[in-house]
Structure formats: structure tokens, C-alpha cells
């Protein structure tokens, strides 16, 4: 009798466990929330505005500070600290005025890692105050303008302008920063341009260095080889391959160097020079490119810049080499 009771207890326990497992299996799985899309941020530097007219002394700096305050919380912008910007301008012995030339503005912007530089002027006509701002792209050189005017206090006008400037930068991103060419698009364009042609077997060797830091792996050489193979070309290893099997030799030298740290952003400048030689050592093509990159780490910024420089050169060079 005891054995029957034990069997029944085990049966009931097994039934309960099975029921619980079945219910858990049948319960709907909670939907996974879609990953949040990362907001694209644009590094912006605001220079001190120039001022003119009676009662305007000191208003240029006030306007710049107010614009900073009005734009700092914009999720699409990363603002360079005003004190850091002033320090760089002083070091470079540049004019701090809002009337700074476009070339100087681009130079300053690149030094601080800003893709956008905002300059301008503030003046008074009668009872009206005018604030005129210029939005300068350090990538394309494109210049856009925006202004605010009225009899309101200068802080009201500046904060109103700050909102407008943020909208203009976001809405005009394509004009200010140029089209972003993906690796896939670049390769597709090259395949179309070299269709029906053949690339010579190449041995690619690009030496690179980052001033003040050791290079773990060559970003420019890797990028050039990748693109060359992606469009149907054959490459030989520069160390282990047989030189006599190569039809051309693509040689280059690249370097990257620290430019400036602004807050968490680090800007790096890179230059890459490439030449193509035939079997007899004759130079048949040459190209060069300078690229700026901004990142949170110096190493990644340097590699990104050299990689982009190699991709840009490949886009021009490989079309010439295909026969």
C-alpha cells in the first residue's frame, strides 16, 4: 500500500511540474524593445561676435555666451568649450573677431575638432539690435547665414537665434557636411567605373606612423588591399609574396598626428602619399590626401583618418590603373 501511495505522490509531483513547464512555454514572450538609434552629433565652435555702434561694447562676447547657453542642450550638437576655443586662438595668434576670414575659421575649427564654426556680429540701428550669424562648415567651406533683430533685450534675441541656428545646422547637414559615402557605395562606384577592365596584379606596401605613438596595424594598407580585392584585383603579400609575380607596386607613406583635445573630443590630422611603380621601377601614378578625424581616442581618430585617406586615393587611383 505504501508503494502505491509513493507512486501516486511522484505522479502528482510530475504532473504539477509538467503543467508549470507547459504554462511557461505557452506564455507570450515579451517583445524586445528596438535598440535606440544613436543620435548624430555635430561638433560646433562659437567664436566671439564682433560689435559695432554705441552701447555695443562687450555685447559680442555676451552674444556668443548666450548662443552657447541656448545651444548646449541641443541633442544634435556637441559644443566646444568657449574657454578652450579662446586658448587655441591665442596660441595660434589668430584674430578673435567675428569678422575672421573663412580660411582662418576652417583652420580653427579643424584644430578644435569642430565641423561647424559660428561667427558673426552684433550692432544697433536706431532702437533695434541686430545679431547676424555665419555658419561655416570646416569640411566643405559652405557658409550659411541666420539673423535675429528687434527691440527686445539682447538675451531674448540671442536665445531666439540659438534655436534657429540649431535647426539650420540639422536641416542643412547634407550641404554643410557633404554626402557621406559608405564603403559599399564607394566599391559599387569603382566596380562600375572599371567594368570590363582588369587591374594588374599588385603588391601593396604602405608604411604609416602616428607621431608619438606606436602603430599596431596599418590601417591605410589594409583599406587599400580590401578595396583592390573588392573590385576584382589580385594582391600579393608585401613580405611573403614573390616580387616577380607582381605587375605593379603600390607604395606609400602615411602619418597621423595629434591636433587638439577639446573636452572629450580629440582631433587628429593625417596625410597619406601613394605612388605606383611598374616592374622597372618607373613611377606611373602618384596621389596624396590629407584628412582630419575626430574621435574619443587619439589612436582611433588617427586610424580613421588614414583609412579614409586610403579610401579616397583608391577611388581615384584604381580607375587609372584598370585597363
Asked if 221 and 267 count as a contact pair (C-beta separation under 8 A), the reply is: no
Q: How far apart (Å, rounded) are the C-alpha atoms in residues 226 and 246?
A: 17
Helix (H, G, I), strand (E, B) or coil at 182: coil
Q: What share of the chain is helix, strand, coil (3-state, %, to 5)?
A: 40, 30, 30
- Confidence label for 315 from pLDDT (cuts 50, 70 and 90): very high
Tell me the Cα Rg of the chain. 30
- Residue-wise pLDDT tens digits, 263-295: 677 888 889 999 999 999 999 999 998 888 888
Q: Where are the alpha helices (DSSP H) in 56-195?
A: 59-71, 82-91, 102-111, 154-171, 173-177, 183-193
Tell me whether the CATH fold assigned to 42-177 matches the one assigned to 183-321: no
Q: Per-residue pLDDT averaged across 88-116, rounded?
A: 67
Provide the residue count of the chain. 323
Closest CA relative to residue 298, chosen from 272, 271, 264? 264
Residue 4: the pLDDT is 46
Residue 187: the pLDDT is 94
Domain boundaries, the chain: 42-177, 183-321
Q: How far apart (Å, rounded) are the C-alpha atoms in residues 232 and 217?
A: 24
| Beta strands, E only, 172-264 | 202-210, 235-236, 248-262
- Residue-wise pLDDT tens digits, 195-234: 999 999 999 999 998 887 766 678 999 999 999 999 999 9
Q: Which residues pair with 261 in a beta bridge?
A: 266
Q: How far apart (Å, rounded) are the C-alpha atoms in residues 201 and 310?
A: 18
User: What would the CATH number be for the domain defined by 183-321?
Assistant: 3.30.160.150
pLDDT at 311 over 80: yes
Q: What CATH number does domain 42-177 carry, 2.40.170.20, 3.40.50.10610, 3.10.20.30, 3.30.450.20?
A: 3.40.50.10610
**What does residue 178 show for φ and ψ, rounded to 5 degrees?**
75, 165
For the chain, how long is the longest CA-to-CA vector?
A: 111
277 grid coordinates: 611603380
Weakest-pLDDT range from 4-13, 45-54, 237-246, 267-276 = 4-13
Q: Which residues pair with 291 in a beta bridge?
A: 270
Q: How far is CA 158 from the centre of its chain?
A: 29
Amino acid at each position: 500500500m505504501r508503494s502505491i501511495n509513493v507512486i501516486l505522490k511522484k505522479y502528482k509531483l510530475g504532473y504539477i511540474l509538467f503543467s508549470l513547464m507547459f504554462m511557461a512555454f505557452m506564455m507570450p514572450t515579451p517583445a524586445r524593445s528596438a535598440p535606440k538609434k544613436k543620435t548624430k552629433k555635430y561638433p560646433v565652435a562659437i567664436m566671439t561676435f564682433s560689435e559695432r555702434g554705441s552701447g555695443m561694447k562687450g555685447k559680442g562676447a555676451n552674444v556668443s555666451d548666450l548662443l552657447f547657453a541656448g545651444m548646449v542642450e541641443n541633442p544634435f550638437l556637441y559644443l566646444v568649450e568657449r574657454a578652450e576655443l579662446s586658448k587655441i586662438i591665442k596660441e595660434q595668434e589668430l584674430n578673435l573677431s567675428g569678422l575672421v576670414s573663412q580660411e582662418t575659421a576652417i583652420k580653427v575649427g579643424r584644430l578644435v575638432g569642430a565641423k561647424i564654426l559660428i561667427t558673426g556680429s552684433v550692432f544697433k540701428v536706431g532702437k533695434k539690435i541686430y545679431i547676424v550669424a555665419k555658419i561655416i562648415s570646416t569640411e566643405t567651406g559652405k557658409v550659411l547665414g541666420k539673423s535675429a533683430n528687434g527691440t527686445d533685450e539682447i538675451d531674448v534675441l540671442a536665445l531666439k537665434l540659438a534655436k534657429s541656428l540649431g535647426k539650420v545646422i540639422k536641416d542643412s547637414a547634407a550641404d554643410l557636411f557633404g554626402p557621406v559615402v559608405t564603403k559599399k557605395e564607394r566599391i559599387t562606384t569603382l566596380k562600375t567605373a572599371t567594368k570590363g577592365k582588369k587591374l594588374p596584379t599588385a603588391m601593396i606596401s604602405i608604411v604609416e606612423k602616428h607621431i608619438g605613438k606606436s602603430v599596431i596595424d596599418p590601417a591605410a594598407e589594409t583599406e587599400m588591399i580590401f578595396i583592390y580585392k573588392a573590385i576584382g584585383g589580385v594582391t600579393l603579400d608585401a613580405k611573403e609574396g614573390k616580387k616577380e609575380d607582381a605587375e605593379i607596386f603600390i607604395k606609400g607613406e602615411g602619418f597621423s598626428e595629434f591636433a587638439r583635445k577639446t573636452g572629450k573630443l580629440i582631433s587628429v590630422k593625417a596625410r597619406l602619399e601613394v605612388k605606383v611603380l611598374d616592374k622597372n621601377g618607373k613611377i606611373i601614378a602618384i596621389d596624396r590626401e590629407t584628412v582630419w578625424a575626430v574621435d574619443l581616442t587619439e589612436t582611433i581618430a588617427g586610424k580613421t583618418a588614414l583609412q579614409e585617406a586610403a579610401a579616397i586615393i583608391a577611388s581615384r587611383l584604381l580607375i587609372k590603373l584598370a585597363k
